[in-house]
Each structure stands twice: as structure tokens, then as C-alpha cells.
Structure 1
């Protein structure tokens, strides 16, 4: 199917199939040396757990990273090393896992992530910064949409969706949808491009060498929410998020930068 290719990343990245093994090894090595608590429960299922990484000094606040994988694959254990950038700057970092499709729907995963954020926020004081990659970008964006019951949103300073799937409708035309089971109602309800912008400052981040579909998705979200967008030269869908592991990378700097007053104007 044409739309399958549009959202296929590994096939268009040299050595793309080897990235998951590389991430898992780097993450395991990082956990071995880090000060961390693992497999803390926020829900009832075995996958509703999070890891919490502590900085060497008094924490400046909380960074929560939500992983991608088209809501179908991966868990927190692949991404631990991405905590390195925020940790070096003195932030506590949390990484939740969540149940996967087809066992649950995308809307169910969204509810799990909101529960995870609320649970983690009760445990870690201070300002909150959210960052998510690909499907994780959709999940943090959906969680940040203003709602009265989300008290932690008063502490949310910054939101960075990286290469987000901001509009679910195109995925209805992919073979993945046999497991995702997205219908028109869910696409409307769960797509950030159809929802109100967060009160927190938002930067949409995407690699310049990504598939055109992801460049279009990022542009659509930045336009709809009238927020800042950054397109990084030479980065593809897998490499773009790896910069979070580097303390002085532009991505880490953007996530942790002092917030401007309110949301950014349109670029």
C-alpha cells in the first residue's frame, strides 16, 4: 500500500533494522550506571510501569519521556540512555511504558499516559517538561490538551513533540490499522491537530531527512497550534531523538530552556 511506504521509516534509513538492538544495549548500559528506580507501577497491567532517573544534585524539576513505536512495539527499556541530557542538567527523568495495540486502543493508551503523568507528578515536585517521539509525540500532545481535572498541567512548562503523529487519519489507510483499529471517530478525538493547543509553551521538533509524511505531520501540528517548529538538518526519524542523550545538544537545550512568556507565536 502506498500509505504503508509513507509511514515506513526503517526501510528508508541505512541500517534501520539495527537501531532497536543498538538502543536496547545503550539503555541497559546506562541503567547499570545510573541512579534509578525501575518498574514503578502507575496502573494495573504489567506494562503500566515507569522508570525514574535521579540527578546527582537537587532536582530542578521533572522531565517525562514517552516512547514511540506506532503504539505497537517497544517499552521504556529501549530508551533509558536518553535521560542523560536532562539528568546532566539536574532534572529528574521518568520513562513510562504502556499497553500496546491490538490489546488496547490508542485512546486507552492516551488515558494510561495521563495516569502515568499524574502519578509521577505526585512523586516528583517542581516544574514539568514533556517530550515524546513519534507515537509518543501524539501521546504527550494529547495529554497536554487543557482539561480541568489535570492538576499537574498547572506545573507543565514545556512540551516538545518530536516527529509526532499528530493526525491519525492517514494511518487508517495502512496495513498497521488491522492492529491499531483506528476509525474516523477515534482519529478525530485523538489527533492533536483537531484539539485545543496546550497552555504550556510548545516546540514541534522534526528531522530534516525524515519521510515527507512526518515533515507534513509536524508542520500541520505547529500550524494548528501556532507554535514554534524546528527542522534539524541531516536527521532522520531514528537519529533525531537520540540527541536527547547529549547534554549540550540543541534538542536537550530546547527542552530545558527557560520558558518564554506563554506559548510561542507562529513561526
Structure 2
């Protein structure tokens, strides 16, 4: 449909098709060597309502929750475990949830699932909570700031939220073939679009996007920054598939901003 190419990434990234298998291999290797991982913790009854929790040595300084992308239709937590390395080295615990995919559920349904996942992880680890997510995951962590989405006691612990290359206005996606799975109409798209969230939890927010991303994703990031009046960082030279790499590096600017 009209905007399919605008939201396509793989064809515009050198060797783009190689990234998912490389992520999966790096994540599996990380899980094999990390100690004390708590895998497949259930936050609900459905098969994909599971999260992995990685704890640092000693008492955790706080909790980082990473929500994966894939246009709410693909991938799961098993592709991203290695990204926990940076926060763990800084003394933070890391939780990574999977979630039911479209069209089995709606985007609104996924939002509610992530709220449950955040709540479960927050019960397991004390201290501040930082939220980050990539692409569709960026949308989902932004939605957690809607007043009432999380219990007040958990929302009060939020220290920083970083949507990475987020989808912040879902209306353009109605003009893609993916909407056969999303089943968005105007009302549903507006209701799930972070740019229209006016009643939000007061929490520092940084929108992060790769400087070499597709124009549609640069636009989406800019729209969220403008709507919320929050910081926008364009990471020079980064595209949609490597923009998350800073999460694995304890010394990265990304983690310094996110965890303080």
C-alpha cells in the first residue's frame, strides 16, 4: 500500500537480512554465559506473556526494562538478551518481556500486556525503573507514561523513559499493508498514538533515533519530541538495526543518559 516502502527498513540497510540471525546468536551466547538469569517468568496466562530477568552481581541499583520491536508482529525477547550487558555492568537488573503479536491481539492489547510485564518486573526488583524500547517497543514504553497505565506506586519509581526509533503516530500505518494485522481505524490509531497523550506521568524522557534512519522514523521521533517537549538525540551514522547497540555498552552515551 501507499506507505509500505516508507516504513521498510531491511532493504535500505547494508546486509539488512543478516541482522535478526546475528541478534539471535548473540543473545543465545549471552544467556549461556550469564549467571543467575531467571528465564520465562510468567506475567500472564498466554504463551508469549513471559519475561526474562537478568540480575547484576550484588544488590541492583535499579531496574531497566527493554521492550523489543518488530512492528508488533514479529520477534520476541530471545533476540535481545545481549543488550542487557551494559546495564548489568552498571549494576542494574534488566527485564525483557515478550508479548502476544498482532493479529492474535491488537496493539492496544499489547500495550496492556506490557503494563502487566512492567508491574511484575517492578515487584521483583527494588529501586528506580528505567524504560526503553525499540521501534514498536518504543511506542510501548511511551504508552506506559499514560496516567493510570501503571499502578501509581510503580509509575512513581520511573526514573527515565527512552523510546528508541519509536512509532509515535500510528495513523500513517493505516496506509500500509501491515494494517491487515493491526486492524487500525482512525479512532484506534489516535487512542494508541503517544503524540496524543496529554495526561502523562511526570518523568524525564529522551527520544533516541539513528541519524541514518529512514525519513519516516526520523519524522516519528521528531513528532514525539515536539509533542512532549522532550529531548531528541539523533545518533550520527546509526540506522534502524544498529541504533540499539549502545544498550550493550556500559560506557555508551545512551546508557549514561538512560541510567544516569
Task: Report the TM-score when normalising by structure 2.
Answer: 0.97
Residue 250 of structure 1: CA displacement?
1.2
The match for 1:164 among 146, 163, 166 is: 166
**Rounded Cα–Cα distance in structure 2 between residues aligned with 1:245 and 1:169:** 32
Pair 1:194 & 2:196 matched: yes
Residue 56 of structure 1: CA displacement?
1.3
**Paired residue secondary structure (2:31):** helix
- In the other structure, the counterpart of 1:61 is 62
Pair 1:4 & 2:7 matched: no
**Rounded Cα–Cα distance in structure 1 between residues aligned with 2:68 and 2:31:** 17
- In the other structure, the counterpart of 1:175 is 177
Residue 148 of structure 1: CA displacement?
7.7
Which range is displaced more, 23-32 or 139-148? 139-148
Cα distance per residue 1:144-196 (max 9 Å; x no partner)? 22228622101001000000000100000001111111111111111000112
Instruction: Tell me if the contact between 1:146 and 1:199 (Cα under 8 Å) persists in the aligned partners.
Output: no
- In the other structure, the counterpart of 1:15 is 15
Instruction: Tell me if the contact between 2:115 and 2:150 (Cα under 8 Å) persists in the aligned partners.
Output: no
- In the other structure, the counterpart of 1:28 is 28
Pair 1:218 & 2:203 matched: no
Cα distance per residue 1:62-121 (max 9 Å; x no partner)? 000000000000000000000011000000000000000000000000000001111111
Instruction: Tell me if the contact between 1:37 and 1:52 (Cα under 8 Å) persists in the aligned partners.
Output: yes
Q: Which runs of 4+ in 1 moved over 3 A?
A: none
In 2 relative to 1, CA 186–59 (structure 1 residues): closer, same or farther, beyond 3 Å?
same
In structure 2, the gaps of 5 or more residues are: none
**Rounded Cα–Cα distance in structure 1 between residues aligned with 2:44 and 2:149:** 22
Cα distance per residue 1:2-36 (max 9 Å; x no partner)? 41010000010001111000000000000011121
* Superposed CA RMSD: 1.0
- In the other structure, the counterpart of 2:120 is 119
Pair 1:155 & 2:178 matched: no
- In the other structure, the counterpart of 1:46 is 47
- In the other structure, the counterpart of 1:131 is 132
Alignment coverage as a number of residue pairs: 257
In structure 1, the gaps of 5 or more residues are: 258-267
